[in-house]
Chains A and B, each alone.
Chain A
C-alpha cells in the first residue's frame, strides 16, 4: 500500500499544479494539441471502433450482446464498491455489494442481471469521482490518444482504480492483452449502444470538439453529484 499512497500524492501534486485557470474560461490551455489528439481519436473511431461496433451488432445476436454488457458492468463493481466506501456512501456501497453478489452467483458470473429485478440499480464510481468529492478540481482539459477526454484528475483516478480492481491481481501471463481486450470491448459495447446519440451530437454541433468538451464535463459533474440536479449552479437565463 505504501507504493499506492506515494502514487496518490504524486497525482495530487500534479493536479494542484494543473489547476491554473486561463482567461477564456474554457480551461483548455492545451487546446491546440487537444484538437490534434481529438482528430486522431475521431479517425480511430471512424476506421476501427465504428466498423468494429457495426460488425459486432451485425454478427452477435442481441441476447449475447446484452450478456456481454452485463458481464462488463459487473466487472466494474469491485472498483465502484471501493469508491462508494471512500466517498462515505454507505447505502450505495450496499447496493453495489448486493448487486455484485446476486449477479455473480444467480446471474452466472455477471452474464445476467437479476439484481435489476430486485430493484438494485447499477451505478458506476471511479477514483476520479472520489477525488472530486474530496474537493479536487478536474484540472485543465486534456484529450488523450485512445482514451478521449481525460483531464488530470480523471486520468490519475483511472491509474488508482487499477489497484482497486481485483482482476489486476490475477496472475495472467498476458495481462496487457487482457486489459487491452477488455478496454476494447467496453468501447465497442458503448459505441454499439449509443450510435444514434453520438451521430446526432456530431450532426447538431457547430464545433464538435467544443460540444464534446462541454458534454464530457457536464456528464462527469452529473456523475459526481450522483445524478442530483445542481440547483445552485443553473445558468442565468
Chain B
C-alpha cells in the first residue's frame, strides 16, 4: 500500500507528516548504546527458548526441554510466595511447599497450553531499568509475523532479580498486566472466602491446572 502512495505526487504534505512520525518513532533507538547485562540475559534466553521451539524434536521432547529451560530460568517460588500476600506468614512450611509445587504445575500447565499455539513470534529487547542492586526491569516488544497490519505492538516486560551471571526471571508484565499482581488479587479473593486456607487454594490450583491441560469445561465450579 505504501508503494502505491509514494508514486503519486499529491502526497507531499502527507509524506512530510509520515516522515515526521517515522523520525519521532526512530528517535529513542538512534542513541545506540551497549546492551546492559540484564538485557543481554533476556536476549540470550529468548534465543535459547526460540531454538527449542523451532527444533525438530517430537512434541513431548520439546515440551520437556522447554520445561527444563524454564525451571532453570525462572524463580517461581519467589512469585508463588508473593501471591499469598500476608497469608504466607501464617502458613506452615509443609503447606507452603505444597502450594509452591501446585503453583509451579499450574504455571507450567498455562505455559504448555500457550506453547501449542506458538507460530513464529519473537521478542526484541528495547531497554531496561535498574531498580535496586539486584532488581531490574527489561522491556521488550513482541514481534508477530502473523499480526495484522497496524496492530498495536505488544509490550512484554521482564522482572529480573540477581547479579550478572546469576539472573532469574521472577515476573512478567504483558501490556501492563503484571502476572504477580493479577495472581495475588485472584488468590487473595479466594483466600478471603475460604478462611485463608492455603490448603484449599492448593487444591483449587491443582484442579485449575488439570482444567487448563484438558482445555475444556469453563463451568468455573
Contact = CB atoms under 8 A, between A and B. Distances in A.
Interface stretch (B35-43, B62-70, B150-158): B150-158
A168 to B, nearest CB: 27
B187 A221 contact: no
Interface in A139-182: none
B171 A211 contact: no
B176 A219 contact: yes
B212 interface: yes
A231 B181 contact: no
B201 A206 contact: yes
B74 to A, nearest CB: 12
B53 interface: no
Main secondary structure of the interface of B (DSSP, over half): helix
Most buried by A among B1, B137, B212: B1
B93 interface: no
Contacts of A219: 175-177
Contacts of A214: 181-182, 185-186
Main secondary structure of the interface of A (DSSP, over half): helix
A122 interface: yes
A227 B218 contact: no
A204 B110 contact: yes
B22 interface: yes
A203 B218 CA distance: 6
B46 interface: no
A207 B181 contact: no
Contact of B175 (A118, A200, A222): A222
Interface string A219-237: 1011101010111001111
A65 to B, nearest CB: 10
A215 interface: yes
Interface residues of A, number: 47
A102 B14 contact: yes
Contacts of B211: 203
Given A122-B152, A204-B110, A209-B189, A234 B218 contact: no
A89 interface: no
B94 interface: no
A225 B148 CA distance: 25
A235 B176 contact: no
Most buried by B among A26, A120, A206, A221: A206
B149 A113 contact: yes
A114 B14 CA distance: 11
Interface in B185-216: 185-190, 192-193, 201, 204-205, 208, 211-212, 215
A235 B188 CA distance: 15
Interface string B136-176: 01010000000011101101010101000000001101011
B78 interface: yes
A206 B188 CA distance: 10
Contact of B5 (A114, A199, A231): A114
B131 A119 contact: no
Given A98-B17, A114-B5, A229-B137, A237 B180 contact: yes
B14 A202 contact: no
A202 B220 contact: yes
B129 interface: yes
A213 interface: yes
Contacts of B182: 211, 214-215, 218
Most buried by B among A113, A205, A207, A227: A207
A207 B171 contact: no
Interface of B: 1-2, 5, 14, 17-18, 21-22, 24-25, 78-79, 82, 106, 110, 113, 129, 131, 137, 139, 148-150, 152-153, 155, 157, 159, 161, 170-171, 173, 175-178, 180-182, 184-190, 192-193, 201, 204-205, 208, 211-212, 215, 218, 220
Given A204-B212, A231-B131, A237-B79, 9 more contacts: A26-B189, A91-B24, A113-B150, A117-B5, A118-B14, A120-B21, A206-B204, A234-B171, A234-B178
10 contacts: A106-B5, A115-B150, A118-B14, A204-B212, A207-B186, A210-B186, A210-B188, A214-B182, A222-B175, A229-B155
The 4 closest A-B pairs by CB, nearest first: A222-B176, A116-B150, A210-B189, A214-B185
